[in-house]
Chains A and B, each alone.
Chain A
Amino acid sequence: MTSTLAPTPIASTLVPDASGRFGEFGRRFVPETLMHALEELTAAYAAAQKDPEFDKQFRSLLAEYVGRPNPLYFAERLTEHCGGAKIYLKREDLNHTGAHKINNTIGQTLLTLRMGKKRVIAETGAGQHGVATATACAHFGLPCVVYMGEEDIRRQKLNVFIMKTMGAEVRPVTTGSRTLRDAINDAMRDWMASVADTHYIIGSVVGPHPFPMMVRDFQAVIGREAREQCLARTGMLPSEVIACVGGGSNSAGMFYPFVDDAGVELTGVEAGGRSSEPGQHASTLSYGKPGVLHGSYSYVLQDEDGQTADVHSVSAGLDYPGVGPEHSYWKDSGRVNYVAIRDDEALEAFQKLATLEGILPALESSHAIAQAMKTAGKRSPDDIVVVCLSGRGDKDVYEVARVLGREI
């Protein structure tokens, strides 16, 4: 009698609502100048979702241009090394441009064309989203401006060169901390003045509604593929799915198709930096509080006055004081567990995956690998742990060599 009820899901997949709410999180906190554009974008996206032609174009580009589906790879030697659960890697690093970011930029560029807008702007931290945007714009012949913090330009010279080669203009951002957060500010300022003919391709599940929803939807191909591949390969769902969280786009795309699978543990890995002291990490969900940043209500790292805090991570892509609102919703509902991995642990995972598997992970993804290595050893060999290997590490070799005191 009492056990016939299905377990109540603790987090819904039917979010956000029409006003952009994931529970209490999300919404729109932006200057009035942008509100009409966000309403237009929401309507254009809703219409595109209903149009089978849009989905067909998106899927065909993902197959033929991006190279999807990418493999779910059994990391046998890493599994042996950890001595526990079987570790599988979702190989987003094998996508064209070497990271998951292109899933979103292809989707949003198609939407740009549908809306009849003639110019694209983007922000970038590690440069992966900038490269993915420059790539999609080159493919479609759209002019593209990428805002990038001066500090990140120094750390990610290779990606700057690639963007420029693809015809994008890289505008250095010299304000504030000169990293991702300031690049977002400058891209939003550009958009305020150019909104009539320009689309802003935001690179993560952050910002005002509908961006967090739209980017999640375009990235959800990661989790859908991983779920199908795991079932086809092993006949079961994973015990745990692990992904790194900066703004949170690869993790949102990875987790979302598993949210209704109550037996699958979901673990988001934030940048623990050097320590848990303020300014030494970028673990927004682990150490932050709900607040407003970049147009949405979500967990943020800020001081008692609401001023954004300085953050640190060895990885430029996780070096961000905010996080997507759906992650805040998942945290408060208990559906996803968020942990922090320090710089040194990520660097060790970077080297371990290289030597054990011949795969060079991005420093961002190395955080997820480090967490998988911790957890796999404590699990039974019957368990399956799926990790999102969100990008390849070529872009990081100069930074890793510098931190390890080696020369290239």
Chain B
Amino acid sequence: MSSRISEAFSRVQADRRMAFMPFITAGDPDLATTQNLVRELAARGVDLIEVGFPYSDPIADGPVIQASYTRVLDRKLHVRDIFASFAELTQGANEKLPPLVAMVAYSIIFRTGPEAFVRKAKESGFSGLIVPDLPGDEADDLAALARKHDLDLVQLVAPTTPPARAERILKSCSGFVYCISVAGTTGVRQELPEELREQLKWLRTKTNLPLAVGFGISRPEQVGSLRGTADGVIVGSAIVRHLEPLSKPNADRSATLRQIGEFAGRMVDACRG
């Protein structure tokens, strides 16, 4: 329990608040802007940052994140470019950045080579991995490699996961548990289902790992209902949708970064209660 991710959640728990974890797409619209966005989010007090590696066939993602991935891949951005940029960002940082968690499709990890990928992720300053299409049943090897290289492998639990499966998943999970709030893809939704609270309460009895809720959260008002049952909140599409206009000529990047920063600040405040 000494990883940077665990430390971040320990501080959050000591402060009796929830962690806020924004999701951003690496390279949308370019890696220099991604670096500035990480710094902006850090300055706004976010606790962790989830970094999506663009993938051509992201089945778990809704239209906003998929479109973002497509924009980046159309510009021929490579995995090695992402690693190089994050190595530069994290090694050159004057201020301490929040722990970075890479969200990566297994196709990318497999093609790079699982051990090489884990090593490069660590060298580039990532503290953990989320592999949305690698279910617990297939995760043992990658979990062992992640442990060897001192990275957390965050696993996902869905509303459709029966208790026995959830207990198996928890065994190879580290860092935190990614609790999917609704059956379906990532994306903005109005309401969080009642069953979510029940599942979080049950998970709490089964693990000491922090519980972070993602998929469908987009507004500070949704956070209140999770207080007392979740340790963290993940927001993706509601942030990534701000990046879309940046691919147009003459886009005002600093205004967009400020806009995202202000939204992140409101979410951080909502998580403090």
Chain A residues within CB distance 8 Å of chain B: 19, 27-37, 175-176, 181, 185, 188-189, 192-193, 195-196, 291-295, 297, 300, 302, 304-308
Contacts and interface: CB of A to CB of B under 8 A. Distances in A.
A176 B71 CA distance: 10
Contacts of A196: 160, 183
A28 B184 contact: no
B12 interface: no
Interface string B31-71: 00000000000000000000000011111101100110010
B73 A31 contact: no
Contacts of B155: 32
B138 A176 contact: no
A192 B78 CA distance: 29
Interface stretch (B107-115, B120-128, B227-235, B264-272): B107-115
List 8 tightest A-B contacts by C-beta distance, closest first. Answer: A306-B111, A193-B184, A306-B107, A33-B158, A306-B108, A31-B60, A307-B56, A308-B56
Contacts of B60: 31, 33, 192
B189 to A, nearest CB: 10
Given A31-B132, A33-B180, A306 B112 contact: yes
A188 B184 CA distance: 9
A167 B153 CA distance: 46
Contact of B158 (A32, A189, A304, A307): A32
A192 B110 contact: no
B145 interface: no
Contact of A36 (B57, B78, B161): B161
B183 A193 contact: yes
A169 to B, nearest CB: 19
A31 B138 CA distance: 12
Given A28-B135, A31-B133, A195 B56 contact: no
A19 B136 CA distance: 13
Given A35-B158, A302-B107, 17 more contacts: A28-B138, A30-B135, A32-B156, A33-B180, A36-B161, A175-B67, A176-B56, A176-B70, A185-B59, A192-B59, A192-B60, A192-B185, A291-B107, A292-B110, A304-B78, A306-B111, A306-B112
Interface string B2-44: 0000000000000000000000000000000000000000000
Nearest to A38: B135
B66 A37 contact: no
A116 B134 CA distance: 29
Contact of B59 (A36, A37, A189): A189
B137 to A, nearest CB: 7
B108 A32 contact: no
Contacts of A33: 60, 158-160, 180, 183-184
Nearest to A300: B107
B183 A192 contact: yes
Contacts of A293: 57, 107
Contacts of B56: 176, 302, 307-308
B193 interface: no
A37 B160 CA distance: 8
B263 interface: no
A300 B110 CA distance: 12
A305 B162 contact: no
B137 A28 contact: yes
Contacts of A297: 110
Given A35-B135, A192-B60, A193-B184, A175 B70 contact: yes
Contacts of A34: 160
Contacts of B106: 29, 292
Interface string B91-122: 00000000000000111111110000000000
A137 B121 CA distance: 47
A201 B85 CA distance: 42
B193 to A, nearest CB: 12
Contacts of A193: 182-185
12 contacts: A31-B132, A31-B156, A32-B169, A33-B159, A33-B183, A35-B165, A193-B183, A292-B107, A294-B57, A305-B111, A306-B105, A308-B56
A27 B111 CA distance: 17
Contacts of B158: 31-33, 35-36
A141 to B, nearest CB: 26
B180 A175 contact: no
Given A295-B133, A305-B78, A32 B111 contact: no
B162 to A, nearest CB: 6
Contact of B111 (A30, A36, A291): A291
Contact of B57 (A31, A35, A185): A185
Contacts of A295: 59, 133
Contacts of B62: 189
B115 to A, nearest CB: 15
Contacts of A189: 59, 62, 184-185
Given A35-B161, A295-B133, A306-B108, A30 B59 contact: yes
A35 B157 CA distance: 10
Contacts of A308: 56-57, 107
